[in-house]
Amino acid sequence: MKRFVIALIILALIITAGVLESVHVERTFGELDKRIAALEDAIKSPTDDALDEVKALSAWWEKRRAELELFTWSPDLRAFSVALAETEGSLECGDDKNALSKCQSLLTMSRNLKMLLDFSPSDII
Protein backbone atom coordinates (compact mmCIF):
# COMPACT_ATOMS: atom_id res chain seq x y z
CA MET A 1 0.00 0.00 0.00
CA LYS A 2 2.87 2.35 0.81
CA ARG A 3 4.37 1.87 -2.67
CA PHE A 4 1.01 2.56 -4.26
CA VAL A 5 0.68 5.88 -2.42
CA ILE A 6 4.23 6.85 -3.40
CA ALA A 7 3.49 5.94 -7.01
CA LEU A 8 0.34 8.10 -6.93
CA ILE A 9 2.28 11.03 -5.48
CA ILE A 10 4.95 10.70 -8.17
CA LEU A 11 2.28 10.47 -10.87
CA ALA A 12 0.59 13.60 -9.49
CA LEU A 13 3.92 15.45 -9.51
CA ILE A 14 4.60 14.44 -13.11
CA ILE A 15 1.14 15.52 -14.25
CA THR A 16 1.44 18.82 -12.36
CA ALA A 17 4.85 19.51 -13.90
CA GLY A 18 3.44 18.78 -17.35
CA VAL A 19 0.50 21.11 -16.87
CA LEU A 20 2.72 23.90 -15.52
CA GLU A 21 5.11 23.47 -18.44
CA SER A 22 2.23 23.68 -20.90
CA VAL A 23 0.89 26.85 -19.25
CA HIS A 24 4.36 28.42 -19.31
CA VAL A 25 4.81 27.62 -23.02
CA GLU A 26 1.35 29.01 -23.83
CA ARG A 27 2.01 32.26 -21.97
CA THR A 28 5.50 32.69 -23.37
CA PHE A 29 4.50 32.23 -26.99
CA GLY A 30 1.32 34.29 -26.56
CA GLU A 31 3.45 37.18 -25.32
CA LEU A 32 6.00 36.56 -28.08
CA ASP A 33 3.34 36.81 -30.77
CA LYS A 34 2.11 40.10 -29.26
CA ARG A 35 5.64 41.50 -29.22
CA ILE A 36 6.28 40.48 -32.82
CA ALA A 37 3.01 42.14 -33.87
CA ALA A 38 4.08 45.30 -32.02
CA LEU A 39 7.43 45.17 -33.83
CA GLU A 40 5.66 44.82 -37.15
CA ASP A 41 3.49 47.84 -36.33
CA ALA A 42 6.60 49.82 -35.33
CA ILE A 43 8.28 48.99 -38.63
CA LYS A 44 5.22 50.12 -40.57
CA SER A 45 4.94 53.37 -38.61
CA PRO A 46 7.44 56.09 -39.55
CA THR A 47 7.17 57.67 -36.09
CA ASP A 48 8.08 54.57 -34.06
CA ASP A 49 11.63 53.45 -33.45
CA ALA A 50 11.52 49.84 -34.58
CA LEU A 51 15.20 49.30 -33.80
CA ASP A 52 14.58 49.87 -30.08
CA GLU A 53 11.57 47.58 -30.31
CA VAL A 54 13.55 44.71 -31.84
CA LYS A 55 16.37 45.14 -29.32
CA ALA A 56 13.87 44.95 -26.46
CA LEU A 57 12.28 41.89 -28.05
CA SER A 58 15.69 40.22 -28.44
CA ALA A 59 16.58 40.85 -24.80
CA TRP A 60 13.19 39.52 -23.66
CA TRP A 61 13.48 36.45 -25.89
CA GLU A 62 16.96 35.55 -24.66
CA LYS A 63 15.68 35.42 -21.07
CA ARG A 64 12.69 33.31 -22.08
CA ARG A 65 14.82 31.04 -24.26
CA ALA A 66 17.08 30.33 -21.28
CA GLU A 67 14.00 29.44 -19.20
CA LEU A 68 12.60 27.19 -21.90
CA GLU A 69 15.91 25.40 -22.31
CA LEU A 70 15.77 24.41 -18.64
CA PHE A 71 13.09 21.82 -19.37
CA THR A 72 13.32 21.34 -23.11
CA TRP A 73 15.90 21.81 -25.81
CA SER A 74 15.39 22.46 -29.47
CA PRO A 75 17.78 23.85 -32.05
CA ASP A 76 14.80 25.86 -33.32
CA LEU A 77 14.88 27.94 -30.12
CA ARG A 78 18.35 29.12 -31.04
CA ALA A 79 17.41 29.55 -34.70
CA PHE A 80 14.71 31.94 -33.57
CA SER A 81 17.41 34.06 -31.92
CA VAL A 82 19.27 34.15 -35.22
CA ALA A 83 16.13 35.25 -37.07
CA LEU A 84 15.67 38.05 -34.53
CA ALA A 85 19.26 39.16 -35.10
CA GLU A 86 18.64 39.17 -38.87
CA THR A 87 15.60 41.40 -38.32
CA GLU A 88 17.69 43.74 -36.21
CA GLY A 89 20.38 43.83 -38.90
CA SER A 90 17.81 44.68 -41.55
CA LEU A 91 16.52 47.56 -39.45
CA GLU A 92 20.04 48.85 -38.81
CA CYS A 93 20.62 48.93 -42.57
CA GLY A 94 17.33 50.74 -43.11
CA ASP A 95 15.78 47.86 -45.06
CA ASP A 96 12.24 48.02 -43.67
CA LYS A 97 10.77 45.75 -46.35
CA ASN A 98 13.16 42.94 -45.47
CA ALA A 99 12.49 43.51 -41.76
CA LEU A 100 8.75 43.16 -42.40
CA SER A 101 9.28 39.89 -44.22
CA LYS A 102 11.43 38.71 -41.32
CA CYS A 103 8.54 39.54 -38.95
CA GLN A 104 6.33 37.15 -40.89
CA SER A 105 9.05 34.50 -40.61
CA LEU A 106 9.28 35.17 -36.88
CA LEU A 107 5.53 34.71 -36.48
CA THR A 108 5.64 31.43 -38.36
CA MET A 109 8.63 30.22 -36.37
CA SER A 110 6.88 31.21 -33.14
CA ARG A 111 3.78 29.18 -34.02
CA ASN A 112 5.89 26.20 -35.04
CA LEU A 113 7.94 26.35 -31.84
CA LYS A 114 4.78 26.54 -29.76
CA MET A 115 3.36 23.47 -31.47
CA LEU A 116 6.68 21.68 -31.04
CA LEU A 117 7.05 22.45 -27.34
CA ASP A 118 3.43 22.35 -26.23
CA PHE A 119 1.58 19.18 -25.37
CA SER A 120 -0.89 17.80 -27.85
CA PRO A 121 -2.80 14.51 -27.99
CA SER A 122 -0.82 13.50 -31.07
CA ASP A 123 2.28 13.35 -28.82
CA ILE A 124 0.83 10.31 -27.09
CA ILE A 125 0.18 8.34 -30.24
Q: What pTM was computed for the model?
A: 0.84
**Domain map of the chain by residue range?**
11-118
Please answer whether residues 90 and 98 qualify as being in contact, where contact means their C-beta atoms are separated by less than 8 angstroms. yes
**CATH code of the region 11-118:** 1.20.120
31-81 pLDDT, tens digit each: 999 999 999 999 998 877 889 999 999 999 999 999 888 888 888 899 999
